[in-house]
Amino acid sequence: MKRQNIRTLSLIVCTLTYLVIGAAVFDALESDNEMQQRELISKVKARLIDKYNISNADYRVLEATIIRSVPHRAGHQWKFSGAFYFATTVITTIGYGHSTPTTIGGKTFCMFYALAGIPLGIVMFQSIGERINTFAAMLLRTCKRLAGKPADVTHMDLILVASGCGTFLIASGAYVFQSYEKWTYFDSLYYCFITLTTIGFGDYVALQKESALQSSPEYVTFALIFIMFGLTVISAAMNLLVLRFLTMNTLDEKRDKQEAQLAARGVF
């Protein structure tokens, strides 16, 4: 028990330290650029108000109208294809924020839909991930036998395979998104990573170009398959990492139990 408590405390300290380091780095990298962007926006706003002789109130109305019109560029967000895309972002917890329900009925249904859909999605992805890991272990054993090596497959072997598959998936997916969205390859990599880790900032969202939801069914299909299959691969890797941690925890419990028994007998 003592060893488990130390590990838990260490994890808490490491996580908090990681957050502090992350905050410091993001502050150093992004703060100056944020200030420059704010100054630029203020200058452009002043120039537009002066050029077209409009009031601040009218400018705010225009600004709000433009912001609200952004999601509608992709076409009808709540027709079946757009609604299916939205439902996918709900149960996968990606939540881009590119499109949100506005009616009371839509918001109410979304909450209940998420309550049932998120656990269902987690269980499904974990279950498929386990099948993938089982299949990968079988392939590794076969390859090792053919190479004349011991057929033992470790967690680390499977983690390396899952990591390799995830890297390949992100790299290849980024190429397709680069072609369709006209993003840079780096921005496409960033989008794929943010999506498959379900962070979903919403700064880059696929299928938001002019009428993409209705005019590019093959691209809609690819984006949905990429998300579902990619999350499955990531779930496979997460299953392995969690299993590895649980194995270490179980070993600690056994060791603590043995030490307690020995202490009770007066060995220590």
Over residues 114-123, the pLDDT tens digits come to 999 999 998 8
Contact 174, 241 (CB under 8 A): no
Cα–Cα distance, 70 to 183 (Å, whole number): 18
pTM above 0.75, yes or no: yes
Cα–Cα distance, 256 to 249 (Å, whole number): 10
Counting every residue, how long is the chain? 268
- 3-state secondary structure at position 149: coil
One-letter identity of residue 55: S
Q: Within its chain, how far is the Cα of 10 from the centroid?
A: 26
**DSSP one-letter string for 206-242:** TT-STTHHHH-HHHHHHHHHHHHHHHHHHHHHHHHHH
Q: Please give the residue that has the higher pLDDT: either 107 or 254.
A: 107
Residue 263 predicted with pLDDT over 70: no
Q: Show the CA angle centred on residue 86, arms to residues 80 and 92, nearest 5°.
A: 130
Residue 2 predicted with pLDDT over 90: no
Of 23-27, 126-130, 228-232, minimum mean pLDDT range = 126-130
Helix or strand (DSSP H, E) at 12: helix 2-52
pLDDT at 249: 63
What is the percent of the chain where pLDDT is above 70? 89
Q: Please give the residue that has the higher pLDDT: either 213 or 191.
A: 191
